[in-house]
Structure 1
Amino acid sequence: MRDGRQPGGMPTHLPVFVVTTFLLAMLPGAGQALMLRQTLDGGRRRAWASIGGTCTGLVIWTTAAAAGLSAVLLANPHAYAAVRIAGGALLAALGVSTLAGLRKPPGPAPAPSGSSYGRAYAAGLATNLGNPKAGVFAISLLPQFLTDDGPVLISSVGLGVLWAAVTGAWYVIFTWAVDRGRVLVSRPATHRRLQVVTGCTLLGIGAAVALGV
């Protein structure tokens, strides 16, 4: 989308890009299921660590797409399948872990620690990098919003950072809403139902990713 600039030097494509990426972030999927799990299990701050990992993954995918690595990955069926299966297995493992938590007696969530934040960040990063569809989006979406101004690599990475910021903003809103609603789901029976739904969702998405559905 090489449509020039608005008065004052702002690229006219940026508002459209922000709206597009925000709508993409709102689509239900592995990211939202992961954020729901992290918020219910460890609170907003642990979910925010996963958001940081997700945003890092988006920047990595964008940089890889700009450097041509994503195109190479998508052109190699075996490499693509390996990433896809690994990502699906990770999501399925998170689903199993969530369902396994049903065996524990209900009680207050443990206070988050530095290590739990690190694991949450790693979960967000691995979930995003294990989803080749993010690479497809980076290849197919970002070039439509590049202008002729400046080096393509720098422009692409800049759009990737903006994409990550917009996605992170939506997830912050989402996890805030979930955390505010914790009072409504504080009853053990309701919380266990949410665990079942979240665990099964992660398992289903993991299977879909692994099978390339």
Structure 2
Amino acid sequence: MPTHLTAFLITTWLLAMLPGAGQALMIRQVLTGGLRAARGTIAGNASGLLIWSVAAAAGLSAVLLASPRAYAAVRIVGGVVLVVLGVSTLRAARSARAGDSEPSAAEPTGRTGFRGGWLTGLGTCLGNPKAGVFAVSVLPQFVTTSGPVLLSSIFLGVVWALVNACWYLLFSWCVNRGRALVSRPDVQRRLGMVTGVVLLLLGVAVAAGA
């Protein structure tokens, strides 16, 4: 079993709470697809974290990070995913403003559903090289050396994924509860515009390595 489990739980929880692409993505998913799409995205993100953890345990992440070109390719793909999500969110908000479609707080307009949300979460996580950096540089610090390192690493990966899933479930629930406060179409559009811009800027920053 890994050592310092409590410290690992606190570390991963605090990292999950940091403002960034995850929160912006969850807001976007809740507003456009509802809790079903958000939960699918959370499951996809957790799946991605497990893949990063297993890759780190097998040494694949270390190989990736040792290759500047491979690292840059993953970074760019992750940035493009966020940019595409940002652009689609902005387009939906602009369409609503033009009267082509008007989002409803009671009837989300997302077309992704759980499966589409899962693919979005998985793609975003696998396209985030910072998750690979964490899996390679931070996760091993909590692995015991007195037992099977591979199993210990995978166990920590499961804990990491569960902690992130718990935080995002709570976060998406709060966002969904807040839909009643922003149910007016003009407020929904403005929030969609802000979320789209944030995703777009984060995507550019990720792709540029900022």
Q: TM-score range by the shorter chain?
A: over 0.9
Q: 1:25-64 alignment to 2 at 5 Å?
A: 25-64=16-55
Q: What is the CA–CA distance in structure 1 between the aligned matches of 2:103 and 2:130, rounded to whole Å? A: 37
Residue by residue, what CA displacement relative to the aligned partner does 1:64-119 show, whole Å, maximum 9, x if unpaired? 11111111101111111111101100100000000010213313335777x62211
* Structure 1: gaps spanning 5 or more residues: 1-9
Query: Is 2:134 the counterpart of 1:150?
Result: no
Q: What is the CA–CA distance in structure 1 between the aligned matches of 2:11 and 2:81, rounded to whole Å? A: 28
Cα 1:146–1:160 change in 2 (3 A) is same
**2:80 maps to what in 1?**
89
Q: What is the CA–CA distance in structure 1 between the aligned matches of 2:146 and 2:109, rounded to whole Å? A: 48
Write the letter of the residue equivalent to 1:130: G
Shift of 1:11: 6.0
Q: Is the 8 A contact 1:64 1:70 kept in 2?
A: yes
State which of 6, 12, 18 in structure 2 corresponds to 1:21: 12
Q: What is the CA–CA distance in structure 2 between the aligned matches of 1:97 and 1:200, rounded to whole Å? A: 10
* Structure 2: gaps spanning 5 or more residues: none
**1:4 maps to what in 2?**
none
Shift of 1:30: 1.2
Q: What is the CA–CA distance in structure 2 between the aligned matches of 1:144 and 1:107, rounded to whole Å? A: 46
Write the letter of the residue equivalent to 2:132: G
**1:3 maps to what in 2?**
none
Q: Is the 8 A contact 2:31 2:108 kept in 1?
A: no
Q: What is the CA–CA distance in structure 2 between the aligned matches of 1:126 and 1:11, rounded to whole Å? A: 28
Q: Is the 8 A contact 2:37 2:116 kept in 1?
A: no
Shift of 1:32: 1.2
**2:167 maps to what in 1?**
170
Cα 1:107–1:199 change in 2 (3 A) is closer
Cα 1:134–1:11 change in 2 (3 A) is closer
Q: 1:95-134 alignment to 2 at 5 Å?
A: 95-102=86-93, 103-104=95-96, 105-108=101-104, 109-110=107-108, 116-134=113-131
Residue by residue, what CA displacement relative to the aligned partner does 1:37-83 show, whole Å, maximum 9, x if unpaired? 01111211210110000000000001111111111101111111111
Q: What is the CA–CA distance in structure 1 between the aligned matches of 2:18 and 2:37, rounded to whole Å? A: 22
Q: Secondary structure at the match of 1:43?
A: helix
Write the letter of the residue equivalent to 1:129: L
Taking structure 1 as the reference length, the TM-score comes to 0.91
**1:203 maps to what in 2?**
200
Deviates more, 1:146-155 or 1:156-165: 146-155
Q: 1:2-17 alignment to 2 at 5 Å?
A: 13-17=4-8
**1:80 maps to what in 2?**
71
Residue by residue, what CA displacement relative to the aligned partner does 1:154-209 show, whole Å, maximum 9, x if unpaired? 10010000000001000000000000000001011111111011000000110011
Shift of 1:150: 2.4
Two-structure CA RMSD over aligned residues (Å): 1.5
Q: Is the 8 A contact 1:87 1:210 kept in 2?
A: yes
Write the letter of the residue equivalent to 1:106: E
Q: Is the 8 A contact 2:78 2:127 kept in 1?
A: yes
Q: Is the 8 A contact 2:40 2:113 kept in 1?
A: no
Q: Is the 8 A contact 1:31 1:128 kept in 2?
A: no
Q: Is the 8 A contact 1:37 1:198 kept in 2?
A: yes
